[in-house]
Structure 1
Amino acid sequence: MYPVTAAFLSALRRSHVVTLQVDAYRGSTLLKADLPVSGGAVTVDGGSQIRRTLALTVADPSLDPKLDPAATLAPFGSELVVRRGIRYPNGQTEWVPLGRFRIETVQAAVAQNAIEVTGADRAATVKDARFTAITQANTANSVVQEIRRLIQEALPGVPVTDLTGATASTPAVFWERERWDAIEQLGQAIGADVYFDSAGNGVIAPAPTVSTEPAWMIDAGELGVMVDGSRETSRELTYNGVVAAGEGDGDTPPVTATVWDTNPASPTYYLGPFGQKPYFYVSPLLTTVAQCASAARALLGRVTGLVRQLDLSCVPNPALESGDVVRVRFPDGTAETHLLDSFTVPLDPSTAMSLQTRSPEPATE
């Protein structure tokens, strides 16, 4: 979760004044500050290559770029920096960034006297920078260094922070075309997610699990933030084992490792009534048994986390990030710890925030 003060989290549970700001940039040059925004939303989806996307209504038809590539809202390199905050009674505002978005489309809604803008985070720029020839990985780099190199080739100077501490070396592999697919493969080889955060910077982070301390409580009742919710329990996309393997060369079999859910208290315990249901993952970046085992353990945390799913609406907390752990307490007093998969932050002061979560853990009192 983006770091905010205790006062910010406390204010979310009471009546508070919401502030919004959207500024337009081209590179480091501010084109226009505080665009007139009448609505929209930022959607964050940890399962998507482009984690953060923007839908925005600009209440000024004069900003329609038409055919001018240098216009403020022209989709030729302009970026929108979006913030949502709380203004305190003393007049000070605490801001939370919601993302830095490349403008993708602009549509003039004549009847509504407004402009509809869509945007995507900086992963879209990296994704577009496809390899023009078969490219070999730099084996002199660690996997973290190679991820950073591939990102900064497309976005020179953009910070890429590593939170994994991984030191594994990059194997000798070739990539044909898709740069972001190569980055994802490298991340999976060290059990990491790679994404752009709310400030527009690259992050290499360990795959999330529910074992970390909850970042926020979503609860009902007095001073609670929950508006509504539904619960679903399903085994359709749930697995309790992962088989991770490299690619053989035709003469020798590929290296492989299998990891099971070995917790007897887990509803997906591999020797329990759930049965055995393995998930298979193959990557050319896995060249040792240890690498296969690391990748399998990281994936296991995701594929066993689909036993319990929640769709919630609550008071918007713009500081949340996909992969955060949240504690959810229902009106009947039961509580569950969940991973936050995706959510939508509205760009208006009155709409509730929608969230989708998952958890392998049963409810507790």
Structure 2
Amino acid sequence: MYAASTQFMDALRRSHVVTLQVDAYRGATLLQADLPISGGSVSVDGGSQIRRTLSVTVADPDLDPKVDPQAVLAPFGSDLVVKRGIRYPNGTTEWVPLGRFRIEDVQATIAQNGISVTGSDRAATVKDLRFTAITQANTSNTVVQEITRLIQEALPGVGVTDYTGATAATPSVYWERERWEAIEQLGQAIGADVYFDPAGNGIIAPAPTVTSTPAWWVDAGELGVMVDGSRETSRETVYNGVVASGESDGDIPPVTATVWDSNPASPTYYLGTFGKKPFFYVSPLLTTTAQCVSAATSMLGRVTGLVRQLDLSCVPNPALESGDVIRVRFPDGSTETHLVDSFTVPLDPGTAMSLKTRSPEPATE
């Protein structure tokens, strides 16, 4: 979660004044501050290669770029920096960034004098720079260094922060075309997610688990932030084991390791009534049994974490991040700990935020 102040988080539970700002940049140059907007949203999905996407309506027909590649909203290098904040009674405003988005598409609606703009976070720029020839990984780098190199080749000078502390060396592997898939493979090899944060910086972080301390309470009742929601329990996409393997080398079988949900208190305990249901993962980056165990262990938390799913609407909290742990309290007083999978923050003061979560834990009183 973005480090918003305690005052900001408390204000979400009371009547507050919402502020919104969208600025246009080209590189480090501010093209126009505080674009007039009449609505839109920022969507965040931890399961997508491009985690953050933007849809916004600019309420000034004169900003239609038409065929001018240098126009403020031209999709040829312009970015939109989006913030949502709260204006306090003393007149000060606390801002929370929602993302830096490359403009992808612009549509001018003639009858309504509005311009619809869509954008993608910086992962789109990295994804676009595909390998033009078969490329070998730099085995003198650690995996973290190699991920950083692949990102900075596409975005020179961009900051990349590692929160894993991983020191594993990059194995000898070749990539044919897709740069972002190479980055994902490297991340999975050390049990990490790779994405861009709301400020546009690269992040290498451990795959989320529900064992983390909850970052936010979504609760019903007085001073609660929950508006509505629905719950679903399903086993369709639930697994309780992961078999992680490398790739075979001629007649030599690949290294492999299997990790099961071995917690007897878990509803997906592999020796329990759920039964055994393994998920299979293969990567050329897995060259040792230890690497297979690490990859299987990190993936296990994801594939077993789908027992309970929530679809909530609540007061918008722009500080949330996909992978955050939240504690949900329902009107009957029961509570559940969930991981945030995806959410949508509206770019208007009156619309609720939609939020999708998952949890392997049963409800508690």
TM (normalized to structure 2)? 1.00
What fraction of aligned residue pairs are identical, expressed as a percent?
A: 82
Provide the alpha-carbon RMSD of the alignment: 0.3
What's 2:314 paired with? 314
Equivalents in 1 of 2:138, 2:267: separation in Å?
Answer: 42
Give 1:132 shift.
0.4
What's 2:86 paired with? 86
Residue 327 of structure 2 aligns with an amino acid whose one-letter code is: R
**Residue deviations 1:123-173 (CA, integer Å, cap 9, x gap):** 000000000000000000000000000000000000000000000000010
| SS of the residue 2:141 aligns to | coil
What's 1:205 paired with? 205
**Residue deviations 1:292-340 (CA, integer Å, cap 9, x gap):** 0000000000000000000000000000000000000000000000000
Give 1:73 shift.
0.2
What's 2:240 paired with? 240
What's 2:143 paired with? 143
**Residue deviations 1:74-109 (CA, integer Å, cap 9, x gap):** 000000000000000000000000000000000001
* Correspondence list, 1:332-351, <5 A: 332-351=332-351
Residue 51 of structure 2 aligns with an amino acid whose one-letter code is: R
Give 1:111 shift.
1.3
Task: Could you tell me which runs of 5 or more consecutive residues in structure 2 were left unpaired when the two chains were aligned.
Answer: none
What's 1:195 paired with? 195
| SS of the residue 2:111 aligns to | helix
What's 2:215 paired with? 215
What's 1:291 paired with? 291
| SS of the residue 1:146 aligns to | helix
| SS of the residue 1:168 aligns to | coil
What's 1:106 paired with? 106
What's 2:155 paired with? 155
**Residue deviations 1:215-250 (CA, integer Å, cap 9, x gap):** 000000000000000000000000000000000112
What's 1:21 paired with? 21
What's 2:47 paired with? 47
Equivalents in 1 of 2:23, 2:338: separation in Å?
Answer: 34
What's 2:7 paired with? 7
Equivalents in 2 of 1:135, 1:11: separation in Å?
Answer: 51
Residue 6 of structure 1 aligns with an amino acid whose one-letter code is: T
What's 1:129 paired with? 129
Equivalents in 2 of 1:111, 1:61: separation in Å?
Answer: 10
What's 1:363 paired with? 363
TM (normalized to structure 1)? 1.00
Residue 291 of structure 1 aligns with an amino acid whose one-letter code is: Q
Equivalents in 2 of 1:140, 1:308: separation in Å?
Answer: 43
